[in-house]
Amino acid sequence: MKKVFFILSVLLIFVGCETEKPSLKNKKIVKTNDFAIVIHGGAGTILKKNMTVETETAYKAKLEEAIKVGHAILKNGGTSTEAVMQTIQVMEESPLFNAGKGAVFTHEETNELDASFMDGKTLNAGAVAGVTNVKSPIELAIKVMTDSDHVMLSGKGASIFAKEKGLEIVDPSYFYTERRFKSLQRIKNKNKTELDHDDKKAAFYDADIKNAKFGTVGCVALDKNGNIAAGTSTGGMTNKRWGRIGDAPIIGSGTYANNKTCGVSSTGWGEYFIRSQVAYDISAQMEYQNKSLKAATTDVIQNKLTKLGGTGGVVALDKNGNMSFEFNTAGMYRASMDDKGILIVKIYKE
């Protein structure tokens, strides 16, 4: 009798397990977007009262221009890598942002550029730091990933590599902008004299000083093949010295991408983002704690980073096309486009 009972019990367990399997197999993954793209142009004390109408319009127009470039690539079946690179290049070539053409100045009155890129499919990555004569740092970061055995190159070595790979080399004066140079002088001299008679413009320059640690640009894209890519490019911190390197070129701090979870690009006070490993922490919370993208970005930025004393934000995109824009500053230049072509461009906290 005991033997019969044992056999029946085993059969019931077996049947029970078999009936569980179809429900697991049929569990649907809800995809918000088949493809999508998000960007940022820096975070900080960005207040509407300090903005002229012309300046605000210019920023929104450039953000729109940049994201539409990447979106078109994704819509036409292009890769997330190409979308991220070309989107960031638009911002690198604009004097509005602290990247490429509009990069801030070091204490020695030079421009030292940092960038990084990560491929969520392979977890391969590339980064450069302290570059002074390569027109597109983000392109160079990608080239480091694809054409070398390394992840990060710096300074002269990075420039030599760029020349060998045929990337565009420019005279360092290419990166000069009057606005950024004046911001450096104001910080150095601690001179509160207005630059001209336009109070709003003067306030905008003062905001530049307050935001000496901010202004990085970044992009995260999800393509139709389900691959996530993330990239970040910056001129770093105004008045930086001694070859200072922030979070932007450091994988896990300023940039991270993993097809299992999400892609992240950061902007803010780099030293805190490095210590917090902000970009990776968001992905890790999703992978190991099963958190949603929104829950993970909120915890990392509003809880962990804020408690540590760090300021800034992130744009992030998960494997299902969900988006998150999280920052603990007054504003962050940001934009998004989904697979339906809906465009959102914002600057201030709302």
In a domain, 11, yes or no: no
Judge whether residue 103 has pLDDT over 90: yes
Q: Is residue 86 part of a domain?
A: yes
Domain that holds residue 241: 36-348
Q: Is residue 31 part of a domain?
A: no
Provide the pLDDT confidence category of residue 123 given band limits of 50, 70 and 90. very high
Q: How far is CA 123 from CA 11, 43, 145, 249, 264, in A?
A: 44, 27, 10, 15, 13
Amino acid at 154: S
Q: Residue 51 sits in a domain of what CATH number?
A: 3.60.20.30
Q: Examine residue 23 and state whether it is found in any structural domain, yes or no.
A: no
DSSP assignment letter at 148: S
- Among residues 98, 70, 115, 278, the alpha carbon closest in space to that of 184 is found at 98
Catalytic site residue from 216, 255, 297, 311 = 216
Tokens of 126: 């590339």
The predicted-structure confidence for 167-190, as pLDDT tens digits, reads as follows: 999 999 999 999 999 999 998 886
Q: For 280-312, write each residue's pLDDT tens digit.
A: 999 999 999 999 999 999 999 999 999 999 999
Q: How many domains does the chain have?
A: 1
pLDDT at 239 over 50: yes
Q: Is residue 170, in this structure, part of any structural domain at all?
A: yes
- Catalytic residue list contains 216: yes
In a domain, 169, yes or no: yes
- The per-residue pLDDT for range 27-44, each reduced to its tens digit, is 455 789 999 999 999 998
Find all residues with CB under 8 Å of 303, minimum gap 6, and list them: none
